[in-house]
Amino acid sequence: MDFEDNQELSQDELFEHYRFVASKGQEPLRVDKFLMNFIEYATRNKIQQAAKQGHIWVNGTTVKQNYKVKAGDEVKVMFEHPPYEFLLTPENIPLDIVYEDDSLLVVNKPAGMVVHPGHGNYSGTLINALVYHFENLPNNSSERPGLVHRIDKDTSGLLVIAKTEGAMTHLAQQFFDKSSEREYVALVWGNVEENEGTVEGHIGRNPKNRLQMMVYPNGDDGKEAVTHYKVLERFGYVTLISCRLETGRTHQIRVHMKYIGHTLFNDERYGGEKILKGTTFTKYKQFVENAFKVLPRQALHAKTLGFEHPVTGEFMRFNTELPEDMVNCIEKWRGYAKHHES
């Protein structure tokens, strides 16, 4: 959050950056603690500063940091400047361009790069790089130039970027119609019993922790989500799988695999940075901790991307090699499994 030393302004002079409505089951909770559960990278000190400066509003009125949020409360964080996705600064950041023509480009995003600006990531994003390298990229419905789809900050791999309005419309329709092809490679905790399978379960925000998504198995909330998985290699305590997305929900693979008991290796947000399978031996713990150091992020790579070209109609398919950190981590597990075969 960017908190500036401003005098209190009226609501119509401020820009809304965040808006949350407390769920029906919300127990009374201080607004600073409530927002900590909802806003990525926020610190309690910064939220308290925002409250002191009159930037936190509940039901249309500014509140102090000790205000207790109750069920049904509408909580907003408001600033004088517009949200940062509207302040796109061109930055000369190198791009790994796999393919490019007049209509589109396919980039291989490294782990650690955020796709578009947002709270805590106002620069160094893929969009900052794109607006530097390419003029007049079309906007999607969220005013994010060229962006047809996205992958998480710590997920590596392929993204298609539209360079024209026509390409944006055509590609976005393919993602909506589920006719695009997206395959990921993931390392997950546990021995996945079935050689292949499908996970179905609506995905929506976790009401207790807005930074997480969760499965609503009865379909009573969230949006439809379908993931097809296939085992590539087994290492005993972890399994290498490929996942083909039928839908593209936020954190879909991460949430679906956790739902069936196979959290992604080193996925901190969903508990995969803990030792979820294996022995209690000190040597094993040291081995896993070393594997975490080799791959300091969730083990997920967007390996294959396929779509129909918006102009030629040709179906195009792109593949990337696994990045070095994933390769090294997989090699470690392969060696461990071989050494500990009974």
| Domains of the chain and CATH, by start | 11-81 (3.10.290.10), 85-177 (3.30.2350.10), 181-339 (3.30.2350.10)
- Angle formed by the axes of helices 282-294 and 324-339, nearest 10°: 160
pLDDT of residue 130: 94
Q: Which residues of 26-64 are buried (b: 16+ CB within 10 A; e: fewer)?
A: beebbbbebbbbbbeebeeebbbbbbebbbbbbeeebbe
Q: Catalytic pick from 32, 96, 102, 152?
A: 152
Q: Which residues of 158-177 are buried (b: 16+ CB within 10 A; e: fewer)?
A: bbbbbbbeebbebbbebbee
**Residue among 206, 248, 242 at smallest CA distance from 225:** 248
The pLDDT tens digits for 219-236 are: 888 999 999 999 999 999
The pLDDT tens digits for 137-162 are: 988 766 678 999 999 999 999 999 99
Percent of the chain whose predicted confidence (pLDDT) is above 90? 69
Higher pLDDT, 50 or 109: 109
Residue 204 pLDDT > 50: yes
Residues with Cβ within 8 Å of 164's Cβ and at least 6 positions away in sequence, in order, are 102, 103, 138, 310
Whole-Å CA distances, 82 to 85, 86, 119, 139, 250? 8, 7, 12, 17, 24
Distance CA 301, CA 195 (A): 20
Distance CA 261, CA 292 (A): 19
Burial class (CB in 10 A: 0-12, 13-18, 19+), 280: exposed
Confidence of residue 256 (pLDDT cuts 50, 70, 90): very high
Confidence of residue 83 (pLDDT cuts 50, 70, 90): low
Distance CA 274, CA 245 (A): 26
The pLDDT tens digits for 1-13 are: 222 233 344 555 6
The pLDDT tens digits for 286-327 are: 999 999 999 999 999 999 999 999 999 999 999 999 999 999
Structure tokens at 152: 């998480």
Distance CA 123, CA 119 (A): 10
Please compute, for residue 200, the number of CA atoms within 13 A of its CA located in the half-sphere on the CB side: 4
Confidence of residue 81 (pLDDT cuts 50, 70, 90): low
Active site residue 221: no
